[in-house]
A and B are shown apart, each in its own frame.
Chain A
Amino acid sequence: MVEQTAQIVSNERDTDLYFRVVVRAAQIAPLVQPGQFVHVRILPLRHALLRRPFSVLQVAEGTLSLLYKIVGQGTEVLSRMRPGEELSLIGPLGHGFTVPHPGGEVPLLVAGGYGMAALFLLAERSPQRGIVFVGGRRRADILCEKEFRALGWEVCVTTEDGSHGERGIVTEALLAELKRRAPGRKLFACGPTPMLKAVGRLAAEHNLPAELSLDQHMGCGIGVCLTCVAPIKTAGGWEYQRTCTEGPVFDFRQIAWEEAE
């Protein structure tokens, strides 16, 4: 975990409301593991105090890139920042995905919207190619398709309006694939909570391992404020654990969804 000032190299629109920012962060970049995040202080945001967490999309020679969607004032201000301006970063943070072993289970990645950002590095570092299932409402929500294809991964796209790929939701496409063949596969997912729950159900039904990256509101990002907790099973019941520290990636069997209602 390092705190450093990071200069923006580029900050460009990807599709629609999605942007990619590349920053120079020589201390943090080499430490990043798949599924980890950085906590970003957007310095022009004077009256919104907290840092914003972003999954690290890619790492390259002292830089790292983040994929984000404009969802509030933080990301809106970030989208207007220019190359040369600075951000403050703390990272890498959190417990990420388990990188597949050579000859181990075949990875099936499941992404909803900007959940994709948490999964690309996993695919890049996996010695085994697999299939990535990408879902969104419409064409503009489908991110990183080209990058995954360039890695030699099969990409299965679903959109709810049918504007790109198959019409439907991503977990339906996943189910169809699992019906063809389930044994020897492992699921990795990041996206909205209903999608994660559905992936967890499919993993349980097909008796497959699954790692889910939870997306929770976050405060400090380093384990002290206890904002981002999720209910996690323990030997004697369940307790609130920190998405920023024990997570964001959890084994689906650990998550006590019923307690989060």
Chain B
Amino acid sequence: MNLSVRIGGLTLQNPVTVASGTFGYGVEYSQLVDLNQLGAVVVKGIRLEPVRGNPTPRTVEVTSGLINAIGLQGPGVEGCIRSYWPFLKELKVPAIINIWGVTVAEYTEVARRLDALGGVGALELNVSCPNIKEGGAQFGTDPRLLSQVVAACRKVTRLPLITKLSPNVVSIVPYAQAAEAAGSDALSIMNSYPAMAIDVETRRPVLANVTGGLTGPCIKPIALKLVWEAAKAVKIPIIGMGGIQSATDAIEFIMAGATAVAVGTANFYEPQTPLQVIAGLRQFMLQEGIEDVRHLIGSAQIGK
């Protein structure tokens, strides 16, 4: 049975990864999960300098979901390299590093420094965090800016580039195509969906940031539809994510056209989820007599 898939020049032993921001830098989960069983480890978004993050409350639980406005707290690229690269480089599976910036120059500088490390599996370009006023989302909601940032990163690194798209657009197709045309090797679909909650006792928004990004099982049908649409419009592979908590969820994404998937919010409540998804996928393929997971990719698309 073959579970391996390719994302640009990168081979994953299986198509199950984790979503940036839900898995820290990998090391936090290492006592609970055998990271080397995963398709890849994807770390939290980093920019050039350390980021303090937003005031609290930063998250609120909603029906079958979670709204977060963390504000991409992190140690900056040098802090990340110093604290976490010694651990990440010893993994047997690829480490994919999610990066962001306020300017195109910041994206390229972070990309350059990570490229220089040697051994990074791929870079995921975060152009879609809803909680950062400047940068992040502005690149993800303007196809022209999106092209610029992808093309600029393409010039400074040969590492596979994965562009993580925002769901907060009228149609995802022009963004998927812009990223592909600018040299992105793959797409991650989707980031969180802008949302909010109100505390009726205080009559105020729950989150200090007022709004945040919705994740968890409640967004899965939205993410699935975006993967479906993008898969028809581009040739590059798609990593599907949004509310995956079971193998069935993951298989839906693959059938919609995703080459790989990422488990996100489920890591917070059930750290074994990625391994359960891998086991369940294997089981499904066995039952259905499918020898290669690549035969499932896009198999729900009409005409396939």
Contact = CB atoms under 8 A, between A and B. Distances in A.
Interface residues of B, number: 33
A49 B32 contact: no
Looking at chain B's contact residues, the main secondary structure is loop
Interface string B260-271: 000001111111
A90 B70 CA distance: 23
A249 to B, nearest CB: 18
B56 A222 contact: no
A50 B53 contact: no
Looking at chain A's contact residues, the main secondary structure is loop
A258 to B, nearest CB: 13
B245 to A, nearest CB: 9
Contacts of A225: 22, 59, 68, 70, 268
B216 interface: yes
Contact of A224 (B23, B55, B64): B23
A48 B61 contact: yes
Given A223-B28, A226-B73, A229-B73, A47 B63 contact: yes
A240 interface: yes
A13 interface: no
B144 interface: no
Interface in B21-79: 22-24, 28-29, 31-32, 44, 52-53, 55-59, 61, 63-66, 68, 70, 73
A1 B31 contact: yes
B64 A50 contact: no
B31 A260 contact: no
A131 to B, nearest CB: 33
A229 B57 CA distance: 9
A219 B268 contact: yes
Contacts of A27: none
A224 B73 contact: no
A3 interface: yes
Interface of B: 22-24, 28-29, 31-32, 44, 52-53, 55-59, 61, 63-66, 68, 70, 73, 216-217, 265-272
4 closest Cβ pairs, A-B complex = A224-B24, A220-B268, A227-B59, A1-B31
10 contacts: A3-B32, A90-B271, A220-B268, A223-B24, A225-B268, A226-B53, A229-B56, A229-B58, A229-B73, A240-B73
Given A41-B270, A47-B63, A217-B59, 14 more contacts: A47-B64, A49-B64, A49-B268, A50-B66, A50-B269, A90-B32, A220-B267, A222-B28, A224-B44, A225-B68, A227-B56, A229-B53, A229-B56, A245-B28
